């Protein structure tokens, strides 16, 4: 393509191989695909682990569908030595490779940096690990939950007198995915200047330490130990969750005197003249009483009425939405953070959108989350394999397309059924 034609997005013309599974690596590749890169998800015959977890829609699983838009998919069995020739040809066309495979499996599959670099000397090679590429925890398995334990996030989350609580969504994985895409873009810039690719390592542990600049960082700077505050703030009050007449809740927070005054006027109170609440230090000292009188006031209104009243008064507030309300929120929909794509078997599916708005080089969700092996034949043809060669590769089990995988699964089901039937 014309190198200046970016109508398909700012990364148009670049190729990314996604050899990672689950969340952090795949979602990082997804962001690159949203920005126009040709992302090819390379799966084993077993497939990404997220294809086997969570609620189903048709033959697909929710976690997989939610994370893997804007990609094509091929199945390549790298455990078979003869598949390396196919991988070499694919790697030669690639700009960025993303993996989260641990050693020694990484090298056995021919995927470590030096092995891939032989096929493409200027490859940008990115690996996600749990704890780091080296050091005392290197090589250990790990997920989001463990990183929250090691970095103390579990101790900071929850109510002050309660047990440690993990975040309710995979925050560490999502943050790591953003670092993956950010690292890829920086490495592309360096390659543009030097002509050289490089090895990059990103870990869940480091991502979460980076995210704690305001808590761990403050401790390092001042010696002040972070505290678990629940929904309250360490630095100002009121700040929390308040009940409404219809059994729902809102968030109200006041990072500054002017915002507290606005709350007082909106709720028809004179708390800002009360000695117990007249400045931030007094309010922090008397938070229990302040929350009590605040809750009495907010209970006079239904949630939507209260939010409208507070927003009109320029108060920092938000409803606490449940998931059915989130997907209908007018600002979220306006921002195109939920967008439809057409799936060849499932029809319309809605996926989360792109959290970056480009005004010069458009980005959009361009492809549905691919079925396993959906594009195997297409990619092989682009690599120069003829139709007969592709059939030979499929017949030898080195690659598989979606139809062949379906056939194999049906065959396994039939065998299990026959084994379970004593007659």
220-243: average pLDDT: 94
pLDDT of residue 422 exceeding 80:
no
State the pLDDT at residue 3.
66
Asked if the model's pLDDT at residue 417 lies above 90, the reply is: no
The residue segments making up the domain with residue 258 are: 239-243+249-319
Do 193 and 124 have their domain in common?
A: yes
pLDDT tens digit string along 388-397? 999 999 999 9
Q: What is the mean pLDDT of residues 280-299?
A: 97
Last residue of a domain, one of 259, 293, 319: 319
| Mean pLDDT (whole number) for 330-338 | 97
Q: Is residue 227 part of a domain?
A: no
Report helix, strand or coil for 197.
coil
Q: Are residues 362 and 384 in the same domain?
A: yes
The DSSP string of 332-372 is: HHHTT-EEEEEETTTEEEEEE--S---SSS-----SPPPPT
Per-residue model confidence as pLDDT tens digits over 250-282: 999 999 899 999 999 999 999 999 999 999 999
| Predicted local confidence at residue 420, as pLDDT | 84
Q: How many folded domains does the chain comprise?
A: 2
pLDDT at 423 > cutoff 70: no
229, part of any domain:
no
Q: Is residue 217 one of the residues assigned to a domain?
A: no
Same domain, 189 and 67: yes
The CATH number linked to 350 is: 3.40.50.10540
- CATH, residue 266: 3.30.1540.10
Residue 124 CA: distances (Å) to CA of 68, 69, 112, 186, 201: 21, 22, 12, 10, 11
241-255, 261-275, 401-415, range with the lowest pLDDT: 401-415
Residues recognised as catalytic:
173
pLDDT digits (tens, 9 = 90+) for 209-227: 999 998 999 999 999 998 8
| Residue % of the chain over a pLDDT of 90 | 91
């Amino acid at each position: 393509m014309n190198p200046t034609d970016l109508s398909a997005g700012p990364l148009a013309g670049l190729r990314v191989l996604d050899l990672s599974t689950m969340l952090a690596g795949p979602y990082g590749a997804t962001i690159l695909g949203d920005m126009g890169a040709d992302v090819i998800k390379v799966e084993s015959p077993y497939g990404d682990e997220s294809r086997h977890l969570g609620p189903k829609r048709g033959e697909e699983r929710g976690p997989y569908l939610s994370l893997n838009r804007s990609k094509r998919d091929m199945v390549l069995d790298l455990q078979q030595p003869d598949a390396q020739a196919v991988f070499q040809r694919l790697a030669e066309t690639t700009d960025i490779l993303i993996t989260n495979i641990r050693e020694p499996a990484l090298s056995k599959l021919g995927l470590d940096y030096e092995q891939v670099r032989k096929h493409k000397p200027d490859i940008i090679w990115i690996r996600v690990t749990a704890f780091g590429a080296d050091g005392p925890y290197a090589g250990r398995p790990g997920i989001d939950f463990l990183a929250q334990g090691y970095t103390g996030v579990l101790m900071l989350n929850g109510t002050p007198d309660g047990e440690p609580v993990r975040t309710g969504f995979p925050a560490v994985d999502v943050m790591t995915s953003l670092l993956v895409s950010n690292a890829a873009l920086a490495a592309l810039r360096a390659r543009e200047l030097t002509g050289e690719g490089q090895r990059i390592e990103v870990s869940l542990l480091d991502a979460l330490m980076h995210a704690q600049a305001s808590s761990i960082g403050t401790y390092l700077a001042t010696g002040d130990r972070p505290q678990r505050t629940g929904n309250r703030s360490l630095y100002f009050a009121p700040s929390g969750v308040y009940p409404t007449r219809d059994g729902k809740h809102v968030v109200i927070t006041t990072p500054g005197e002017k915002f507290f005054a606005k709350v007082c006027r909106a709720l028809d109170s004179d708390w800002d003249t009360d000695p117990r609440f007249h400045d931030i230090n007094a309010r922090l000292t008397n938070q229990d009483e302040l929350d009590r009188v605040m809750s009495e006031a907010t209970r006079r209104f239904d949630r939507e009425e209260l939010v409208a009243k507070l927003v009109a008064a320029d108060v920092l507030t938000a409803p606490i939405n449940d998931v059915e309300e989130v997907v209908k929120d007018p600002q979220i929909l306006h921002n195109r953070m939920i967008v439809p794509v057409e799936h060849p078997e499932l029809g319309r599916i809605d996926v989360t959108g792109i959290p970056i708005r480009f005004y010069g080089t458009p980005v959009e969700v361009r492809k549905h989350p691919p079925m396993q092996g959906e594009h195997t034949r297409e990619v092989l043809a682009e690599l120069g394999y003829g139709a007969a060669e592709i059939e030979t590769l499929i017949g030898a089990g080195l690659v598989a397309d979606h139809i062949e995988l379906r056939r194999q699964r049906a065959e396994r089901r039939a065998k299990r059924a026959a084994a379970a039937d004593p007659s």
